[in-house]
Amino acid sequence: MNTKVNLAGVELKNPVMTASGTFGSGEEYSEMIDLNHLGAVVTKGVANVPWPGNPTPRIAETYGGMINAIGLQNPGMEVFIKRDIPFLKKYDTKIIVNVCGKTTEDYIEVVERLADEPVDMLEINISCPNVKEGGIAFGQDPKAVEAITREVKRYAKQPVIMKLSPNVTDIGVMAKAAEAGGADVLSLINTLTGMKIDINRRTFAVANKTGGLSGPAIKPIAVRMVYQAANAVKLPIIGMGGIMNAEDAMEFILAGATAVSVGTANFRNPYAAEEVVKGIEDYMKKYHVEDIRELIGAVR
């Protein structure tokens, strides 16, 4: 039985990874799960300098989901390189670094700095709804998506994943823009912009007023967008958005995702990503599927 998948020349032992921002750099979860079992660990966003993030409260629970406005707090690339890469190198899993920035130059600074580090792939976060500059501002304009993809590709030594925003009218247009800019892989979806009102305190539930909605509440939207993007471009796609278990992951794979990311589920079940790996194998056994690649985009 083959569970290996190939993303722009990078072979993953299985298609399961962690969604950026939900897993740190894996250290905290390594106390509870074996990172060796994962296809890849996708790190929390790394910027050129440390970012303090947004004021608290930064999260709120919603029905079948949660809203976060962490604001990409991160220790900056130098600490990341010194501390987090050596930690992840101890494990037999691919390292995908999520890169965030406020300007094109910020992204490039991180990409250039990581060029000679033992990092397997770069995921460019142009879709965070919680930062004013950079983030979503890039991800909602196809011209900007194409331009930043092209710029990043000029400097990147590793394959480049462009992480797309669902907060757009036509995801196919955005996917094509990233492809035109030279992206190697796409990942989608990032969170949907949401809001929750605390009716007892009569205020916003998160200090930033709006935040990114994630969790099973957004899964049908994510599956639809992965399907649309897969039909719009030839690039491999990493699907994510509300994957809680292997059945959810299979929906994304059948819709056209080559790999999947487990995000918010980690908060409810620290073993979720490992369980998805096992559950996909069980699914393949149940339906006598020899190679996972037979399932990618099998529903047309």
Give the nearest distance from C-beta 147 to other proteins in angstroms: 30
By CB under 8 A, tell whether 247 contacts other proteins: no
Known catalytic membership, residue 128? yes
Residue closer to other proteins, measured from CB, 229 or 273: 273
By CB under 8 A, tell whether 244 contacts other proteins: yes
Residue pointed to by tokens 């011209």: 143
Q: Closest Cα to residue 163, out of 255, 226, 78? A: 226
Helix pair 171-180, 219-232: axis angle to 10 deg: 50
Residue closer to other proteins, measured from CB, 21 or 297: 21
By CB under 8 A, tell whether 268 contacts other proteins: yes
> Given the rule CB under 8 A, which of 25-33, 120-128, 224-232, 283-291 is the region that contacts other proteins?
25-33
**Separation CA 151–CA 189 (nearest Å):** 22
Give the nearest distance from C-beta 223 to other proteins in angstroms: 18
Q: Binding mask 128-167 vs other proteins (x if CB under 8 A, - otherwise)?
A: ----------------------------------------
Eight-state DSSP code of residue 191: P
Q: Which residues contact 135 (CB under 8 A, 6 or more apart)?
A: 72, 100, 102, 125, 126, 127, 128, 129
Q: Binding mask 45-64 vs other proteins (x if CB under 8 A, - otherwise)?
A: -----xxxx--xxxxxx-xx
Distance of CA 292 to the CA centre of its chain: 21
Q: Closest Cα to residue 244, out of 194, 212, 279, 293? A: 279
Contact criterion met (CB below 8 Å) for 190 and 145: no
By CB under 8 A, tell whether 76 contacts other proteins: yes
Distance of CA 160 to the CA centre of its chain: 13
By CB under 8 A, tell whether 68 contacts other proteins: yes
| Contacting residues toward other proteins, per CB under 8 A | 21-24, 28-29, 31-32, 44, 50-53, 56-61, 63-66, 68, 70, 73, 75-76, 79, 215-216, 244, 264, 266-271
Active site residues: 128
